[in-house]
């Protein structure tokens, strides 16, 4: 597993990659959906790439600061 944090053009980008078997989804009622909702509340976003067989990669993007 790995975690990478970079700042690009005023955005913080956090990429989390695991070594699991994949299959994660942003479906309503799942923990990732709640995380996406919380990120949206601070003008951020979450994408999930989780093909069957893995690995899963989550990318959270959010502003460095809110004005």
pLDDT in tens, 24-57: 988 887 789 999 999 999 999 999 999 999 999 9
Residue 62: predicted pLDDT: 96
Higher pLDDT pick, 63 / 67: 63
Contact (Cβ atoms closer than 8 angstroms) between residue 26 and residue 61: no
Domains of the chain with CATH codes: 2-63 (3.30.565.10)
The Cα 61–Cα 4 span in angstroms is: 12
What pTM was estimated for this model as a whole?
0.87
Token code pair at residue 66: 């809110």
The Cα 59–Cα 14 span in angstroms is: 6
Element (H, E) at 40: helix 31-40
């Amino acid at each position: 597993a790995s975690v990478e944090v970079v700042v690009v053009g005023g955005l913080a980008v956090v990429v989390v990659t695991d070594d699991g078997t994949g299959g994660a989804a942003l479906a309503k009622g799942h923990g990732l959906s709640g995380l996406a909702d919380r990120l949206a509340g601070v003008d951020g976003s979450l994408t999930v790439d989780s093909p069957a067989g893995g690995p899963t990669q989550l990318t959270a993007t959010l502003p460095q600061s809110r004005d």
